[in-house]
Amino acid sequence: MAPLSPVSCFVFICMFILVSVNASTTPNIIFILADDYGYNDIGYHGSEIQTPNLDRLAKSGVRFENYYVQPICTPTRSQLLSGRYQIYTGLQHSIIWPTQPNCLPVSMTTLPQRLKDNGYATHAVGKWHIGFYKKECLPTSRGFDSFFGYLTGSEDYWTHYRNGGFPSTFMKHWYAYDLHDDLRPAWEYTGNYSTYIFTEQVQNIITKHNTNEPFFLYLALQSVHSPLQAPDKYINMYSHIKNKNRRLYAAMTTCMDDAVGKIVQSLKDNLVWNNTILIFSTDNGGQVLQGGNNWPLRGWKASYWEGGMKAVGFTSSPLLPLNVQGTITKELMHISDWFPTLVQGIANGNISDLTLDGFNVWPTISENKPSPRKELLHNIDAFEEKDKSVFNVNMTAAIRVGDWKLLTGHPGANNGEWIPVPDSGIEAFKPLLIPNQQVWLFNITADPYEYYDVSQSHPDVVSQLIERLGYYYNTSVPAYWPDFDERANPAYHQDVWGPWD
């Protein structure tokens, strides 16, 4: 072998130094959370909706196919940012409505707070929705260096207004602006589509970031939650879809996919992609009443059937070992696992002083090791239960232990129908309803679509899982559901949703 020339030696040494520096640099983290994104709405699950950027990222990373979130917005976000089950935050009953004096308990350490302790710059863009009634609840009080986005949810994509919402009729007429640049109402963005705005904000953060410190960038997209609105160029792409809701939803999804593609390109253009880990997740199942679809899973958003909680999710990064790039993991994972995974697994931070319900699954993702999670409490909603000392199967609850999944009470906002894509030629079908049934048992590994309730043939398993629910119930805090507060009226606050206490 011929000796290297001086120039070649210099280049080799420079490359060695560069690789060594990159290898020792703490990774940047970007977490993208989609809203109401259905299991059957991404290309790699066979959807008719075009998602080339998401497909490409997932297929070069690690796809999660046994990954769960919560059935609705606030609980998922609270568990992501706290690492705690919602039975320990008081948020187990529902979302936080704009007029409720409620938020993720301020006593809890959050994910961005702990990442800041490890030297990260932290930024939140998009939808907050874990409370804003007092300044202590706001993103920049919970560990984020900056925030740009919505404090609540369901805003108009163009005007950024929303009403007071269910359930108080008079509060529905409280119609106000909800787009904020930290504490300032961002009026200048009126008329601009939110997906475009959020993408631009993320690109600006990436461009201006000081590369001497790592960043954690939490992008909680409004897409693809209702109202169904999209730029015309995306709607025109799907003129062949007859169902109006599905057509608009498809347009919103492809717009979201383009946004992710632009963000990744910005990471590459600013030479930080090679040291960045990207995580993509939905916050709950698709809402079939608003164009989403979870076929062939049972149920949809706001239910404890698989269609309400089994999530689209993946990690993509050049930092992943080559032997796991392009793979699928079927190891059990949950949204609460991201707190310890990001802090301990990726940032090499300390979590020994925290009580968490999540597990560090980074070895599962990056080394294909078995998941440390063997059990998953989906939730116990005891809001209307009078006897707080005994678990009663009339309460809405769900738990997963190994292959087994048990549901009790009313599993959610629907009876567990299987809903195909509109105009697919497949008929929706409903399960046989047994009067007064309050317990269901499924072997999710053998029966991922929840066709066969085996509660009658496996009473021993039912008893064991009810005992586990009893354990969790005895350790839980009461659901916190404060009365709606008239002081929240935006008319008192320049017609803007914001803190009032």
Query: Cα separation of 252 and 298, whole Å?
Result: 24
Q: Among 153, 300, 165, 139, which residue's Cα sits nearest to residue 221?
A: 153
477: preceding bond cis by omega (within 30 degrees): no
Q: What is the largest CA-CA distance in the chain?
A: 84
Give the separation between CA 361 and CA 366, rounded to whole angstroms.
9
Active-site position among 45, 93, 123, 129? 129
| Other C-beta atoms lying within 10 Å of the C-beta of residue 473 | 20
Q: Pick from 28, 39, 27: which is nearest to 281 by CA?
A: 39
Instruction: Determine what percent of the chain falls in helix, strand and coil, rounding each to the nearest 5.
Output: 30, 15, 50
**454/405 Cα distance (integer angstroms):** 10
Catalytic residue among 45, 73, 103, 160: 73
169 contact partners, CB below 8 Å, separation of at least 6: none
- Residue 217 bridge partners (DSSP): 30, 123
Q: Is 9 a catalytic residue?
A: no
User: In which residue are the tokens 């963000």 written?
Assistant: 263
103 is catalytic: no
User: SS3 of 34, please?
Assistant: strand
Pair of tokens at residue 125: 């863009």
First to last CA, the chain: 76
Instruction: Describe the strand order of the beta sheet including 215-220 as a list of residue ranges.
Output: 184-185, 180-181, 146-150, 121-127, 215-220, 28-34, 276-282, 313-316, 62-64, 327-329
Q: Round to whole Å and give the CA distance between 342 and 217.
A: 12
Q: Six-digit token pair at 499?
A: 């803190």
* Distance from C-alpha of 101 to C-alpha of 134, rounded to nearest angstrom: 8
Rounded CA gap, 119 and 482, in Å? 37
Q: Helix, strand or coil for residue 172? A: helix
Q: Please give the single-letter amino acid code of residue 176.
A: A
Tokens of 241: 């879809």
Active-site residue set: 73, 129
